[in-house]
Amino acid sequence: MSLSRKQADFLNDFAKLVQFINAQRDMYCTAGELHRTMYQQRKYLEEGKSKTLKSKHLKRLAGDLNIFWHGLPIWEYEKDDQKAILEPVRQFWVSLHPANDCGLNWGWDFGHFERG
């Protein structure tokens, strides 16, 4: 499968994810980052905002969302509460495609969703 086809399929799932989140009671999201240049990725690595130079953002196969629960950004909640609140979102995302993964699976970066 071509990279552009993978990107199109990922973006279609990402759109479904946004609609799913915004349809939940007391939850909504805003756009975060979708594409990143290598310059940005290196800077994020230097600043400790990323752990790799092989981010899926570089290939437009990852996106970040700012997720809000009861009007507050998810990062304002305790980590265990974040995990519980976002578990239905994680389940929905991974159900869309077997190569979908998210930061909740790693225990950090809870607004990150990607296609492997």
Selection from 22, 13, 1, 4 nearest residue 115 by Cα: 13
Q: How far lies 80's CA from each of 74, 83, 97, in Å?
A: 11, 5, 26
What's the rounded Cα separation, in Å, for the pair 43 and 60? 18
Q: To the nearest whole percent, how much of the chain has pLDDT over 90?
A: 91
Q: What is the pLDDT of residue 108?
A: 81
DSSP run (H or E) holding 38: helix 38-47
Which amino acid makes up residue 62?
A
Q: Is the pLDDT of residue 109 over 90?
A: no
Q: Is the pLDDT of residue 49 over 90?
A: no
CATH topology of domain 3-115: Muramoyl-pentapeptide Carboxypeptidase; domain 2 (3.30.1380)
pTM exceeds 0.75: yes
Answer left, alpha or beta for residue 107, where phi above 0 means left and psi between -120 and 50 means alpha.
Answer: left
What's the rounded Cα separation, in Å, for the pair 24 and 46? 36
